[in-house]
A = this chain, B = another copy of it.
Amino acid sequence: MARKLDIRLITPVTTRGLRDLAEIAHLESADLGFSHSLIDIGPPSIESEFDEALSVPGTLAKALAAERDGVDAIIIDCMGDPGLKPARELVKVPVFGPSETSMHVAAMLGHRFSVVTVLESVRPLLGNLAKVYGVAEKLASVEVVDIPVLELAARLEEVQEALADRALHAVRHQHADAIILGCTGFLGCAGRITDRLLAAGYDIPVIDPIPTTVMVAAGLARVGLRHSKKTYATPAVKPLVGFDLGRY
Protein backbone atom coordinates (compact mmCIF):
# COMPACT_ATOMS: atom_id res chain seq x y z
CA MET A 1 0.00 0.00 0.00
CA ALA A 2 1.15 3.49 -0.86
CA ARG A 3 2.76 5.63 1.82
CA LYS A 4 0.76 8.71 2.83
CA LEU A 5 2.38 11.80 1.32
CA ASP A 6 2.94 14.99 3.32
CA ILE A 7 2.81 18.16 1.22
CA ARG A 8 4.14 21.23 3.01
CA LEU A 9 2.74 24.64 2.11
CA ILE A 10 5.06 27.54 2.99
CA THR A 11 3.29 30.90 3.02
CA PRO A 12 6.04 33.48 2.48
CA VAL A 13 4.60 36.31 4.58
CA THR A 14 4.75 37.12 8.28
CA THR A 15 1.04 37.86 8.71
CA ARG A 16 -0.69 35.16 10.78
CA GLY A 17 -4.05 33.83 9.73
CA LEU A 18 -3.99 34.47 5.99
CA ARG A 19 -3.82 30.82 5.02
CA ASP A 20 -6.24 28.22 6.37
CA LEU A 21 -5.61 24.60 5.36
CA ALA A 22 -9.34 23.97 5.70
CA GLU A 23 -9.66 25.42 2.22
CA ILE A 24 -7.89 22.38 0.75
CA ALA A 25 -8.99 19.81 3.33
CA HIS A 26 -11.32 18.20 0.77
CA LEU A 27 -8.20 17.08 -1.12
CA GLU A 28 -6.86 15.07 1.83
CA SER A 29 -7.16 11.30 1.74
CA ALA A 30 -5.62 8.15 3.07
CA ASP A 31 -2.76 8.82 0.63
CA LEU A 32 -2.32 12.54 1.03
CA GLY A 33 -2.02 15.05 3.87
CA PHE A 34 -0.96 18.66 4.23
CA SER A 35 1.14 20.68 6.62
CA HIS A 36 1.84 24.38 6.73
CA SER A 37 4.31 27.01 7.87
CA LEU A 38 4.61 30.79 7.79
CA ILE A 39 7.94 32.58 7.55
CA ASP A 40 9.50 34.25 10.59
CA ILE A 41 11.28 37.12 8.86
CA GLY A 42 10.04 39.04 5.87
CA PRO A 43 7.16 41.24 4.68
CA PRO A 44 3.53 41.13 5.88
CA SER A 45 2.29 40.66 2.31
CA ILE A 46 3.72 40.44 -1.21
CA GLU A 47 2.90 43.14 -3.70
CA SER A 48 6.25 43.98 -5.34
CA GLU A 49 9.65 42.63 -6.33
CA PHE A 50 10.86 44.22 -3.09
CA ASP A 51 8.40 42.27 -0.94
CA GLU A 52 9.32 39.13 -2.83
CA ALA A 53 13.03 39.58 -2.32
CA LEU A 54 12.60 40.05 1.42
CA SER A 55 10.39 36.98 1.67
CA VAL A 56 13.09 34.68 0.31
CA PRO A 57 15.47 34.23 3.28
CA GLY A 58 12.59 33.27 5.56
CA THR A 59 11.21 30.95 2.91
CA LEU A 60 14.56 29.20 2.53
CA ALA A 61 14.75 28.64 6.29
CA LYS A 62 11.32 27.01 6.17
CA ALA A 63 12.24 24.89 3.15
CA LEU A 64 15.23 23.53 5.05
CA ALA A 65 12.99 22.84 8.04
CA ALA A 66 10.46 21.08 5.82
CA GLU A 67 13.12 18.78 4.42
CA ARG A 68 14.32 17.99 7.94
CA ASP A 69 10.69 17.19 8.81
CA GLY A 70 10.66 14.62 6.02
CA VAL A 71 7.88 16.11 3.88
CA ASP A 72 7.39 14.74 0.36
CA ALA A 73 7.04 18.04 -1.47
CA ILE A 74 7.10 21.75 -0.75
CA ILE A 75 4.86 24.41 -2.27
CA ILE A 76 5.65 28.12 -1.99
CA ASP A 77 2.31 29.80 -1.46
CA CYS A 78 2.64 32.94 -3.63
CA MET A 79 2.15 33.56 -7.37
CA GLY A 80 5.55 35.24 -7.63
CA ASP A 81 7.13 31.87 -6.77
CA PRO A 82 9.60 33.68 -4.44
CA GLY A 83 12.60 31.59 -3.54
CA LEU A 84 11.66 28.73 -5.86
CA LYS A 85 15.08 28.47 -7.48
CA PRO A 86 17.29 28.88 -4.38
CA ALA A 87 15.01 26.53 -2.43
CA ARG A 88 15.50 23.89 -5.12
CA GLU A 89 19.24 24.35 -4.71
CA LEU A 90 19.04 23.90 -0.94
CA VAL A 91 16.86 20.80 -0.77
CA LYS A 92 16.41 17.56 -2.66
CA VAL A 93 12.74 17.17 -1.82
CA PRO A 94 10.75 18.54 -4.75
CA VAL A 95 9.72 22.22 -4.54
CA PHE A 96 6.90 23.67 -6.62
CA GLY A 97 5.74 27.18 -7.37
CA PRO A 98 2.05 27.79 -8.02
CA SER A 99 2.81 30.20 -10.83
CA GLU A 100 5.10 27.81 -12.69
CA THR A 101 2.75 24.87 -12.15
CA SER A 102 -0.42 26.77 -13.08
CA MET A 103 1.11 28.19 -16.22
CA HIS A 104 2.17 24.74 -17.44
CA VAL A 105 -1.21 23.22 -16.55
CA ALA A 106 -3.03 26.06 -18.31
CA ALA A 107 -0.83 25.60 -21.37
CA MET A 108 -1.88 21.94 -21.43
CA LEU A 109 -5.62 22.53 -21.06
CA GLY A 110 -6.17 25.35 -23.55
CA HIS A 111 -4.55 27.08 -26.49
CA ARG A 112 -3.69 30.29 -24.61
CA PHE A 113 -4.29 31.48 -21.06
CA SER A 114 -4.74 34.75 -19.20
CA VAL A 115 -3.85 35.55 -15.62
CA VAL A 116 -6.39 37.71 -13.74
CA THR A 117 -4.97 39.56 -10.77
CA VAL A 118 -5.30 42.67 -8.64
CA LEU A 119 -2.24 44.82 -9.19
CA GLU A 120 -0.90 46.50 -12.30
CA SER A 121 2.57 46.29 -10.76
CA VAL A 122 2.86 42.51 -11.18
CA ARG A 123 2.36 42.61 -14.95
CA PRO A 124 6.11 42.68 -15.78
CA LEU A 125 6.84 40.11 -13.06
CA LEU A 126 4.29 37.60 -14.45
CA GLY A 127 5.44 38.23 -18.00
CA ASN A 128 9.03 37.55 -16.99
CA LEU A 129 8.06 34.37 -15.17
CA ALA A 130 6.26 33.14 -18.28
CA LYS A 131 9.46 33.76 -20.27
CA VAL A 132 11.67 31.95 -17.77
CA TYR A 133 9.21 29.06 -17.54
CA GLY A 134 9.23 28.81 -21.33
CA VAL A 135 5.51 29.44 -21.96
CA ALA A 136 5.48 33.14 -22.88
CA GLU A 137 3.78 32.51 -26.21
CA LYS A 138 0.89 30.79 -24.43
CA LEU A 139 0.21 33.86 -22.26
CA ALA A 140 -2.71 35.74 -23.86
CA SER A 141 -2.76 38.59 -21.34
CA VAL A 142 -2.47 39.69 -17.74
CA GLU A 143 -5.76 41.23 -16.60
CA VAL A 144 -5.87 43.57 -13.63
CA VAL A 145 -8.86 44.59 -11.49
CA ASP A 146 -7.17 47.60 -9.89
CA ILE A 147 -8.68 47.41 -6.41
CA PRO A 148 -6.24 48.31 -3.62
CA VAL A 149 -4.91 45.19 -1.89
CA LEU A 150 -5.65 46.50 1.57
CA GLU A 151 -9.32 46.64 0.63
CA LEU A 152 -9.53 43.12 -0.80
CA ALA A 153 -10.93 41.41 2.27
CA ALA A 154 -13.54 44.07 2.91
CA ARG A 155 -14.63 44.13 -0.71
CA LEU A 156 -14.47 40.38 -1.49
CA GLU A 157 -17.79 40.32 -3.29
CA GLU A 158 -16.74 43.18 -5.53
CA VAL A 159 -13.34 41.62 -6.13
CA GLN A 160 -14.87 38.37 -7.32
CA GLU A 161 -17.18 40.20 -9.68
CA ALA A 162 -14.28 42.22 -11.01
CA LEU A 163 -12.17 39.08 -11.51
CA ALA A 164 -15.00 37.45 -13.42
CA ASP A 165 -15.39 40.56 -15.55
CA ARG A 166 -11.71 40.58 -16.40
CA ALA A 167 -11.76 36.85 -17.15
CA LEU A 168 -14.66 37.41 -19.52
CA HIS A 169 -12.80 40.30 -21.13
CA ALA A 170 -9.73 38.09 -21.61
CA VAL A 171 -11.81 35.36 -23.24
CA ARG A 172 -13.67 37.72 -25.54
CA HIS A 173 -10.97 40.19 -26.52
CA GLN A 174 -7.61 38.48 -25.92
CA HIS A 175 -8.64 35.02 -27.12
CA ALA A 176 -7.85 33.39 -23.78
CA ASP A 177 -8.90 29.73 -23.57
CA ALA A 178 -8.10 29.22 -19.88
CA ILE A 179 -7.86 31.46 -16.82
CA ILE A 180 -5.35 31.42 -13.97
CA LEU A 181 -6.20 33.20 -10.73
CA GLY A 182 -3.21 35.47 -10.29
CA CYS A 183 -2.93 35.51 -6.51
CA THR A 184 -2.93 32.57 -4.12
CA GLY A 185 -5.08 34.73 -1.86
CA PHE A 186 -7.97 34.06 -4.26
CA LEU A 187 -8.08 30.41 -3.16
CA GLY A 188 -11.65 29.26 -3.45
CA CYS A 189 -12.82 31.88 -5.94
CA ALA A 190 -12.50 29.70 -9.05
CA GLY A 191 -16.01 28.30 -8.80
CA ARG A 192 -17.70 31.67 -8.95
CA ILE A 193 -15.66 32.77 -11.97
CA THR A 194 -16.29 29.45 -13.71
CA ASP A 195 -20.02 29.97 -13.21
CA ARG A 196 -19.93 33.49 -14.63
CA LEU A 197 -18.01 32.26 -17.67
CA LEU A 198 -20.41 29.34 -18.16
CA ALA A 199 -23.36 31.70 -17.94
CA ALA A 200 -21.77 33.66 -20.78
CA GLY A 201 -21.33 30.49 -22.82
CA TYR A 202 -17.66 29.73 -22.10
CA ASP A 203 -16.85 26.29 -20.68
CA ILE A 204 -13.17 26.82 -19.91
CA PRO A 205 -10.84 25.86 -17.06
CA VAL A 206 -10.31 28.38 -14.25
CA ILE A 207 -7.18 27.34 -12.43
CA ASP A 208 -7.05 27.83 -8.68
CA PRO A 209 -3.27 27.69 -8.21
CA ILE A 210 -2.93 26.14 -4.75
CA PRO A 211 -5.23 23.11 -5.15
CA THR A 212 -3.85 22.56 -8.65
CA THR A 213 -0.23 22.74 -7.53
CA VAL A 214 -0.90 20.53 -4.52
CA MET A 215 -2.29 17.74 -6.70
CA VAL A 216 0.44 18.00 -9.37
CA ALA A 217 3.09 17.98 -6.64
CA ALA A 218 1.52 14.94 -4.99
CA GLY A 219 1.35 13.12 -8.31
CA LEU A 220 4.96 13.80 -9.25
CA ALA A 221 6.17 12.98 -5.75
CA ARG A 222 4.32 9.66 -6.02
CA VAL A 223 6.30 8.70 -9.14
CA GLY A 224 9.54 9.86 -7.56
CA LEU A 225 10.21 12.90 -9.72
CA ARG A 226 11.92 15.95 -8.33
CA HIS A 227 13.81 18.95 -9.72
CA SER A 228 17.11 18.53 -11.55
CA LYS A 229 20.15 18.86 -9.33
CA LYS A 230 22.06 19.80 -12.48
CA THR A 231 19.96 22.92 -12.86
CA TYR A 232 19.77 23.44 -9.11
CA ALA A 233 23.14 22.29 -7.74
CA THR A 234 23.42 22.22 -3.96
CA PRO A 235 25.39 25.31 -2.92
CA ALA A 236 28.56 25.05 -0.86
CA VAL A 237 28.14 25.86 2.83
CA LYS A 238 29.77 29.23 3.45
CA PRO A 239 29.70 31.60 6.45
CA LEU A 240 26.63 33.82 6.06
CA VAL A 241 26.56 37.17 7.81
CA GLY A 242 23.24 38.23 9.32
CA PHE A 243 21.19 35.14 8.48
CA ASP A 244 20.48 32.03 10.52
CA LEU A 245 18.66 29.60 8.23
CA GLY A 246 19.16 26.58 10.41
CA ARG A 247 21.29 23.63 9.30
CA TYR A 248 21.93 23.40 5.55
Residues of A within 8 A of B (CB): 1-2, 14, 26-27, 29-31, 40-45, 47-54, 56-58, 60, 83, 85-86, 88-90, 94, 96, 100-101, 104-105, 107-111, 120-121, 123-124, 127-128, 131-138, 171, 175, 177-178, 202-205, 207-208, 211-212, 215-216, 218-220, 222-223, 225-233, 235-236, 238-243
Contacts and interface: CB of A to CB of B under 8 A. Distances in A.
A127 B111 contact: yes
8 contacts: A48-B233, A49-B88, A50-B86, A53-B60, A53-B86, A111-B123, A124-B177, A177-B230
A14 B241 contact: yes
A235 B47 contact: yes
A228 B204 contact: yes
A107 B121 CA distance: 17
Q: Which of A49, A123, A226 has the most CB of B within 10 A?
A: A49
A83 B211 CA distance: 29
Given A178-B231, A205-B226, 15 more contacts: A1-B29, A29-B30, A43-B238, A44-B238, A48-B233, A50-B60, A94-B109, A109-B220, A109-B226, A111-B231, A124-B177, A177-B228, A203-B228, A211-B223, A212-B219
A77 B69 CA distance: 37
Contacts of A225: 105, 109, 205, 207, 212
A91 to B, nearest CB: 11
A36 to B, nearest CB: 18
Contacts of A108: 96, 100-101, 104, 133, 227
Contacts of A229: 202-204
